[in-house]
Amino acid sequence: MTQLLDIKGLDIALPANSQRPLAVSGMDLQLSTNEIVCVVGESGSGKSLTARAIMGLLPAPHVRVASGEILFNGEDLVKVSDDRLRALRGSEISMIFQEPMTALNPVMTIGVQIDEVFRFHQKMPSKERRARALQLLHDVQLPDPEQALKAYPHELSGGQRQRAMIAMALALDPKILIADEPTTALDVTTQAQVLKLIKEMQETHGTGVLFITHDFGVVADIADRVCVMQNGLVVETGTRDQVLRHPEHPYTKALIGAVPDLMPRPARPRSDETVLKVNALEKTYRSGGGLFGGKGREVHAADDVTFDLARGETLGIVGESGSGKSTVARCIVRLNDAEAGEILLDGVDLRPLGRAAMRPHRSKIQMVFQDPFASLNPRTRVGKIIAQGPIMYGATQQDAKARTLELLDIVGLDARAYDRYPHEFSGGQRQRIGIARALALEPDILVADEPVSALDVSIQAQILTLLDDIRERMNLSMVFITHDLRVAAQVCDRLAVMQRGKVIEVGPTAQVFADPQAEYTRQLLAAVPGKDWFSKPDAPKVVAAAG
């Protein structure tokens, strides 16, 4: 193992009016051949900017390296000329990004884009370039490399696109591969495959990989060494076993402690009273066509979906993207119209109701949204966002205000939040506001669509606790949509697993985890990153909890 990259005392300066003067300060990091170093941290920790600084991709002049050295084989990448940097990028150091759809050029085929990498850096006859590209796509295990060469990025799935990106990054056999959250946008089963691929490629080529991630599960699966960052400072470095088993710094401990373990929570007695019954729900999306007709595409987003929800229970709907779990949630709250089936709430079928007829039922079933930044109107004060629901249903201004202040207190926010605008709050706080808004109408049922997936792991834990707490206090029933089985294990009493619009398995969480009936459920459980690392040693193993 020889040292490839040596970062010494790196400071990255932010523009003058930012929250803090330095995005990264005094960073030291080493990367050798044939090892994977994971840089872990929550959003805003400076991990991505570090990666960009190495590639010389900082958004200058606003963000720049203020001091320090980034030595690549003894050459300081901070001082090196643009031409030299361009020669290094792609051939010696290459990078893969989080979202392959935006990182690939949508109007060029995969083949052309890989070909470019060869053309820019080496002289090679076009036949040989094509052969090499084909070999690369074969190496990253794309199902049909010939076809993939001719494909445009939108014709491939997310996992296939990320494989193509990896092929492109490894085209010239670089010494260093920087991977910036490469699996965050992928489904859990695809993520497991891509992680395995990166590991394999790294082993065969002896590449040094700098892997940026926020997910300790991924770290556990892939890292040789780990570097934990908080607010621009490296708080802990060490081998994977050291950091994960015996974290020294309190922040690392807190982060690892916040990773929900894959233990289903203890079963609670189930109420006999059914509040919501969904029966044979059908929803098909049609796209294409237009004013003059034409042929469209059909996607069966919900296909014969049936489940029921008991009072006080949390039902988790889990599945990967495109499984139809969000569609079901949106049909229940009547944001989408289902074509067939029944949505029975207190014996009333909500599905065929028109807007006016639906209105009296709206207050009983409320929704918490995924993106805390998009779900609050940026031009409306927090107080009004929460109070407008009750006011619409006839509450007086005073009553609505009193109720709003009470709700702010329940979700753990200061009463001063009442007069502020959403942009003054962090992601976690905004999600609390969103929850308060949903609770303002005193619903019986809360539908939460991925309420924590946009949040950092430490905040996730707080919001999950809050939701559970509220469910208990207000005797709510909850439909909880998530792609993350760890999260589902924490809050859900029962699980419904969805795949391609169909519910393939329903059962108590512990039972589904211990004894999955469907093959797909088994795959999902097996793909959870770092599953062997974060089960608490004193807790009984998942299988034992079946009982």
Partner 1 sequence: MAFFKLFARNRGALIGLIILGVVTFLAATAHLFFPDDPFSLAGTPMSGPGQNGYLLGSDSLGRDVAAGIAHGAKTSLLIGLLATLVAVCVGIVMGALAGYHGGIIDNLLMRLTEMFQTIPSFIFAILLVAIMKPSIESIVIAIAVVSWPAVARLVRGEFLSLRNREFVQACHTLGMSDTRIILGEILPNCLSPVIVIGSLMVASAILIESGLAFLGLGDPNIMSWGFQIGAGRTLLRSAWWICTFPGIAILLTVLAINLVGEGINDALNPRLRERS
- Our CB check for partner 1 shows the closer of 234 and 400 to be 400
Could you tell me if 496 and 184 are in contact, meaning their C-beta atoms sit under 8 angstroms apart?
no
- Our CB check for partner 1 shows the closer of 234 and 376 to be 376
**Helix (H, G, I), strand (E, B), or coil: what is residue 101?**
helix
Per the structure block, which two tokens stand in for 492? 């859900």
- Our CB check for partner 1 shows the closer of 230 and 326 to be 326
3-state SS, one letter per residue, for 117-155: HHHHHCCCCHHHHHHHHHHHHHHCCCCCHHHHHHCCHHH
Contacts (CB under 8 A) with partner 1, residues 154-183? none
Among 20, 62, 522, 541, binds partner 1 (CB under 8 A): 62
Residue 475 C-beta: closest distance to partner 1, Å: 20
Point out which span in 39-47, 272-280, 359-367, 508-516 binds partner 1 (CB under 8 A): 359-367
- Our CB check for partner 1 shows the closer of 162 and 477 to be 477
DSSP-derived letter for residue 144 is -
- Our CB check for partner 1 shows the closer of 74 and 293 to be 293
Residues 233-272, mask of contacts with partner 1 (x by CB under 8 A) = ----------------------------------------
3-state SS, one letter per residue, for 334-348: CCCCCCEEEEEECCE
Point out which span in 95-103, 176-184, 361-369, 401-409 binds partner 1 (CB under 8 A): 361-369
Other beta carbons less than 10 A from residue 154's beta carbon: 10
- State CA 435 to chain mean position distance: 20
- Our CB check for partner 1 shows the closer of 347 and 378 to be 378
Is residue 379 within the footprint of partner 1 (CB under 8 A)?
yes
Per the structure block, which two tokens stand in for 489? 């294990």
Contacts (CB under 8 A) with partner 1, residues 386-445? 388-389, 392-393, 434, 437-438, 441
Size of the site for partner 1 (CB under 8 A): 30
For strand 176-180 and strand 208-213, is the pairing parallel, antiparallel, or unpaired?
parallel
Residue 340 C-beta: closest distance to partner 1, Å: 21
Is residue 340 within the footprint of partner 1 (CB under 8 A)?
no
Per the structure block, which two tokens stand in for 26? 């005094």
Question: Cβ neighbours of residue 275 under 8 Å, at least 6 residues apart?
Answer: 309, 310, 311, 345, 346, 444, 445, 477
Point out which span in 74-82, 114-122, 185-193, 371-379 binds partner 1 (CB under 8 A): 371-379
- Our CB check for partner 1 shows the closer of 101 and 441 to be 441
Could you tell me if 50 and 213 are in contact, meaning their C-beta atoms sit under 8 angstroms apart?
no
- Our CB check for partner 1 shows the closer of 199 and 381 to be 381
- Our CB check for partner 1 shows the closer of 371 and 468 to be 371
Among 107, 291, 543, 544, binds partner 1 (CB under 8 A): 291
Residue 334 C-beta: closest distance to partner 1, Å: 8
CA distances (Å), origin 447, targets 42, 210, 482 = 27, 39, 11
Q: Strand order in 208-213's β-sheet? A: 93-96, 176-180, 208-213, 36-40, 225-230, 233-239
- Count of alpha carbons within 13 angstroms of residue 290, beta-carbon side: 2
Burial class (CB in 10 A: 0-12, 13-18, 19+), 306: middle
Point out which span in 338-346, 373-381, 402-410, 519-527 binds partner 1 (CB under 8 A): 373-381
Measure the CA–CA gap between 83 and 81, rounded to whole angstroms: 5
Per the structure block, which two tokens stand in for 541? 């193993």
Among 48, 94, 98, 370, binds partner 1 (CB under 8 A): 370
- Residues lying near partner 1 in the complex (CB under 8 A) are found at 62, 291, 333-335, 358-359, 362-363, 365-367, 369-371, 374-380, 388-389, 392-393, 434, 437-438, 441
